[in-house]
């Protein structure tokens, strides 16, 4: 097997990308293990009285970021319109792009995600 390396643009390297389906409406937790730099991203899905999707980021500690995603209930998808900077690492920047799909307000969410390491600040 040959290792695969994917670049997006000249200065962005794809770290990890994939799709996960939430289990029983539990938070989706990403544990990104870079050299001497553990990073945890927790996606929590909620509904509120507002109709538009919105996000509330919260730093839990030095290595954990919580993203509370409200009203992400569109079967056609809702997500980041630009890469979301989540950390700095060895003079570079870690970004997350995501799309969330949901069959209904209460169904498990399907999460498409891509983590990038970028030499430039966006």
Query: The tokens of 16 are what?
Result: 């990890």
- Rounded Cα distance between 86 and 76, Å, is 25
* Start-to-end CA span in the chain (Å): 34
- In the predicted model, residues of the chain with pLDDT beneath 70 are 1-2
pLDDT at 9: 84
pTM (predicted TM-score):
0.91
DSSP state, residue 83:
P
pLDDT at 69: 97
pLDDT at 63: 93
pLDDT at 52: 93
What is Dmax (Cα atoms) for the chain?
50
């Amino acid at each position: 097997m040959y290792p695969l390396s994917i670049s997006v643009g000249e200065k962005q390297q794809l770290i990890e990308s994939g799709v996960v389906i939430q289990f029983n409406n539990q938070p989706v937790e990403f544990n990104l293990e870079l050299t001497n730099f553990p990073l945890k991203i927790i996606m929590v899905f909620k509904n509120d009285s507002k109709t538009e999707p919105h996000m509330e980021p919260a730093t839990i500690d030095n290595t954990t970021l919580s993203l509370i995603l409200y009203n992400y209930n569109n079967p056609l998808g809702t997500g980041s319109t630009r890469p979301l900077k989540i950390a700095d690492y060895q003079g570079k920047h870690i970004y997350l792009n995501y799309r969330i799909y949901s069959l209904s307000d209460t169904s498990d969410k399907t999460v498409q995600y891509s983590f990038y390491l970028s030499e430039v600040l966006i």
